[in-house]
Structure 1
Amino acid sequence: MSNSEYALFARLEAKTGKEDEVEEFLRSALPMAQEEEKTTTWFALKFDESTFGIYDTFPDEEGRQAHLDGKIASALEESADELLARPPQIEEVEVLEAKHP
């Protein structure tokens, strides 16, 4: 299909008073995503004042697993207790179709 058939969607719920820190964490993660050879696309999302997300795509399962074992996931795990109201909800998803530039 494409170079982004495999994907992850993570939903993050900030603790009260930690919303700005979660947003800053996500903004600061972009350079780490750019370093990942097999991360095709990476998006940091904000749904409302306390709900955030990450959506990223990969060409294969190896790329997806490398991301799950990478710097962003590690940094998120280290910060989760301090910043998040609950553990991140991470779902592996399959991209059926996509439009790329």
Structure 2
Amino acid sequence: MNELAAVIPFRARTGNGEDVARLIAGALPHVESEAGTTTWLVLRSEADPDLIFLIDLFTDHESRNAHMSGEAAKLIFGSVPPLLAEPPSIHPATIVTRKPAPGKGRM
């Protein structure tokens, strides 16, 4: 089975990128308890510091659905929107290929 993902770009209001990234990163303790969330990345663009990307990888649909309605999502979507220039757009995705972690085989 292919691993599933979600990519969510957050466009912060001018000058609020650092605060948005910090608030999103604050959800990490909730994500760490999710067995089906295999990778969770918060990226701040170097080209546009007010653009933050949240990238999640999941083992299956159930894990992705649980994550999207879980405590991390509640924290992020309950605290970040006032700092955004526009609503975030969630992009569910399927991983086509990726470089495997050391000791793991290719998908």
TM over 0.5: yes
CA distance in 2, matches of 1:80, 1:34: 20
- Give the helix-richer structure, 1 or 2: 1
**Percent of pairs with identical residues:** 34
Q: Higher Cα Rg: structure 1 or 2?
A: 2
Deviation at 1:68, TM superposition (A): 0.5
Letter aligned with residue 17 of structure 1: G
Letter aligned with residue 6 of structure 2: L
Q: What stretches of structure 1 of length at least 5 have no aligned partner?
A: none
Equivalence for 1:25: 23
Aligned-pair RMSD on alpha carbons?
1.5
| TM score, norm. by length of structure 1 | 0.87
Q: Deviations over 1:44-86 (max 9, x none)?
A: 1111210001111111100000010011211222124311111
Equivalence for 1:46: 44
Aligned residues: 99
Equivalence for 1:100: 101
